[in-house]
Structure 1
Amino acid sequence: MDTTMSNISLDFVQLGRTGIKTSELQFGTWRFGRTTETGETEISEDQAYELLDAYANAGGRYIDTADIYGGGDCEKWIGRWLEDQDRERFTIASKIYWQTRDGDPNSRGTNRKNIRHRIDRLLDRLQTDYVDVLYIHRWDDLTSAEELMKTLNGLVESGRVHYLGASTLRPNAWKVARANAIAQERGWEPFTVLQPRYNLIDREIEGNYLEFAHRCNLAVCPWSPLAQGFLTGKYDRSQQVPESSKAGQSSRFQESYLTEQSFAVHDVLDQVADEVSSTPARVALAWLMHRDGVTAPIIGARTVEQLKENLQATQIDLSTDQVRRLTEAKEGPYDSL
C-alpha cells in the first residue's frame, strides 16, 4: 500500500434514522462484470477483489450493488469476497426493479411476485442471509404503493432485509412521501434511505427534495458524484469527444456536461482545487461531503489508483467561502419534489 493510502481511514456517519452508521464514502460496484460497447468486461472478478480489498483496507464498510449489475456477476463476486471477511462489519445494499428474464414481463418492476422471486436469488448470489438496505431501483407505476410497502415490510419482518431505500426517484419524491404515509398508517417499515443523482452539475434535488429528506430524517446517498467523469477534468472546451466513446454516444452527457455553463462550473472547481493543492475530482467529492442534507456519496472506480484518488477527498477541508463559490457556480433555482 502506498503512502497516499496509508493515511486514509474513513470515518462513519449516521445513516439517517436507521440507527446504523455508514462509511462517509460508500463504494458503488456497478462496473463489476459490466460488458462495454466493444464486448470487453469493464472490471473483471480479480480486479473487483482488488478494489474491494483497497476500500476495506481504507476502513470502508458500505458496499452498494444491484441484482442487474454484471448480469448478476457483481453480486456473486461480492459474495465470494465476503467469504473471507467478517460479514457483520459490512453494510451491503442492493436494488431490485429492472427486467432480468427475456420474454417475462413479470421479471420487471416492484410487484409482489417479482420482489419475492428476486430477493432469494439476490441473497444466494451474495451468500448472505440478509441485505442491510434494499432499494427499489426505480418507481413502478403499475404496482400500487400499498402492495409495494406491504411486500417490502414482509421482507423486513422475515429478517431478509433490514432497511428500505428508494433509488433515482428525483422527480418522484412525493411518491416516496405517500408510500411512507401508507406505511406509517399500517405500521409497516418505511423508506429510510434515498439514492438520487447529485453533483456540482446535476442539482435538481436541491429545494423540496432535500428539504423533504431533512424533515423526515432520511439518509441521502448520492450517485454520480463526479458527473460521469466530467468533474475529474478529463474534458475541456476545445476537446473533441470521440464518437466511439461512451460520452460521445450519450446525448444526455453532451447536453448536460459539454456545455458552456458546465465548463464555467468546472472553472470554479479548478480554481478551488488549486487553492487547496488538490485535484478537481477530490474537491468535487469534498463539496458534496460539505453539503447539508448529504449523508455519504457513492464513489466508483475502474482501478485501485482511481479509488485511492477518490478516497483522498475525505482529507480536504473546504472553507465556507470555497463551498459557497462552488455552490453558486451553477445558476439555480432547483426544485424537484
Structure 2
Amino acid sequence: MTPPLAAIDLDFVPLGRTGIRTSELQFGTWRFGKENESGEVEIGEERAHELLDAYESAGGRYIDTADVYGSGASEEWIGDWLADRDRERYTIASKIYWQIRDGDPNSRGTNRKNVRHRVDALLDRLDTDYVDVLYIHRWDDDTPTRELMKTLNGLVESGKVHYLGASTMRPNAWKVARANAIADAQGWEPFTVLQPRYNLVDREVEGDYLEFARQRNLAVSPWSPLGQGFLTGKYDRDEDLPADSKVASSSRFQESYLTAENFDVHDELDAVADEVDASPAQVALAWLTHRDGVTAPIVGARTVDQLAENLAAATIDLSDEQVDRLTAAKPGPYEGL
C-alpha cells in the first residue's frame, strides 16, 4: 500500500561535488504542457501545480525542467508556483539545446549566441535570477568545446547559473571528460552533474560512464528510471497490445523494451515486489537508488496518485540479496567480457 504523501519524507543527498544537497528523488516535469498525438495537453497548469504541491508535501525540493518542455510552459508554470514560495529552498534545473525557431539554425545547439539567449529567456519564464543547474540537453559537435565551456563559465560568473550539467551523454563520457579538462586548465567551471538514461533494462551506462562519474565525484541523476513505463507492470508478454495504442505503432519501443529478455527481468522484479509488498515501479526505483554512483533518479507522473506511488519508493528497504538478484536478471554491457 502506498503511504500518504504527508507520511513520505524524502531525504537530502549530496549532489556530487557541488557542495549542495538534492532530494533523493528529483521531480521531472517533461509532461507539463506536452501535447499528445491528438493535440490534447497531457498535464495542464492546474494539475502541474497540484503535482508540485504533492512533491513539496513529501519533502521534495529538486525540480527538473527544460526550455522545450511544453514549448516553455513547464518553466512558466514552475515560475508561477515558485512566486509564493522562498526560492532559495528549491533547486531548479533546466536544459537547453533543441531548435526553438523554425528556419533559424542558430536557435539550436550550444553556440554562444544561442546559449546566452536561451538562458535569459528561461530565467524570464521561471521568474528567477538564476538556475541551480543548467544542462546541455545534447552534445553539439558543431560548437568547439573550448567556446562552450568559456560561455558556460561566463554564465556561472554572472550568477545566472550555479552548476553545469550534461544530459543524455551515455556513449560519450569522454566528451565530458575532455570538456572538464579544458575547464580545469583554464580555471573555468566544469560539468559536475550528469543525466543519463538508466534503469533495470537500460544498462548501457554501467562501466566506463559510471566509473568516470564515481572517480570525478560527479552527480548522476538518471532519467527514464521506469523504462518508459515498461517497469511499472503495464505490459504483459502474453497479451497483444491494443491496436490503437501508441506503443503498438512504435516498433522502436517494442524492440527496445518488449523483449523476452526484458520480460524475464520483469519476472524477477515482480517477485521482489511481492516480497517487500510494493509495486514493481517502486522496487525498480529503489533498485536504482542502491546502484553505486547514482545520486538521485528523476521521477515524473501524470497524476498525484502516480506521483505518490513513485515517491514511496524512498520508503522501500531492499536487502543486498534482492538488489543482487535484480542486478543479475540482466547482465550489464561489460559483464562476461
**TM-score normalised to the size of structure 2?**
0.97
2:306 paired residue number: 306
2:12 paired residue number: 12
Q: Does 1:99 align with 2:99?
A: yes
2:36 paired residue number: 36
Cα shift at 1:245: 2.5
Letter of the structure 1 residue corresponding to residue 66 of structure 2: A
1:47 paired residue number: 47
Q: Does 1:242 align with 2:280?
A: no
2:26 paired residue number: 26
In 2, Cα distance between equivalents of 1:117 and 1:300: 28
Secondary structure at the residue paired with 2:138? coil
Segment of structure 1 superposing worse, 242-251 or 187-196? 242-251
In 1, Cα distance between equivalents of 2:90 and 2:246: 32
In 1, Cα distance between equivalents of 2:189 and 2:164: 8
Q: Does 1:144 align with 2:179?
A: no
Secondary structure at the residue paired with 1:171? coil
Alignment of 1:261-300 (within 5 A): 261-300=261-300
Letter of the structure 2 residue corresponding to residue 34 of structure 1: K
Secondary structure at the residue paired with 1:306? helix
Letter of the structure 2 residue corresponding to residue 12 of structure 1: F
| 8 Å CA contact 2:261, 2:330 repeated in 1 | yes
Cα shift at 1:256: 1.1
| 8 Å CA contact 2:14, 2:295 repeated in 1 | yes
| 8 Å CA contact 1:166, 1:193 repeated in 2 | yes
Q: Any gaps of 5 or more consecutive residues in structure 1?
A: none
Alignment of 1:73-92 (within 5 A): 73-92=73-92
Letter of the structure 2 residue corresponding to residue 69 of structure 1: Y
Per-residue Cα deviation, 1:291-323 (whole angstroms, up to 9, x for no partner)? 110000000000000000001101111001000
In 1, Cα distance between equivalents of 2:332 and 2:68: 35
In 2, Cα distance between equivalents of 1:93 and 1:293: 20
Letter of the structure 2 residue corresponding to residue 279 of structure 1: S
Letter of the structure 2 residue corresponding to residue 49 of structure 1: H
Q: Does 1:226 align with 2:230?
A: no
Q: Does 1:326 align with 2:326?
A: yes
| 8 Å CA contact 1:14, 1:21 repeated in 2 | yes
Cα shift at 1:249: 3.0
Letter of the structure 1 residue corresponding to residue 79 of structure 2: G
Q: Any gaps of 5 or more consecutive residues in structure 2?
A: none
1:316 paired residue number: 316
Q: How many residues align?
A: 334
2:123 paired residue number: 123
Per-residue Cα deviation, 1:128-162 (whole angstroms, up to 9, x for no partner)? 00000000000000001000000000000000000
| 8 Å CA contact 2:176, 2:191 repeated in 1 | yes
Cα shift at 1:85: 1.1
1:203 paired residue number: 203
1:216 paired residue number: 216
Secondary structure at the residue paired with 1:100? coil
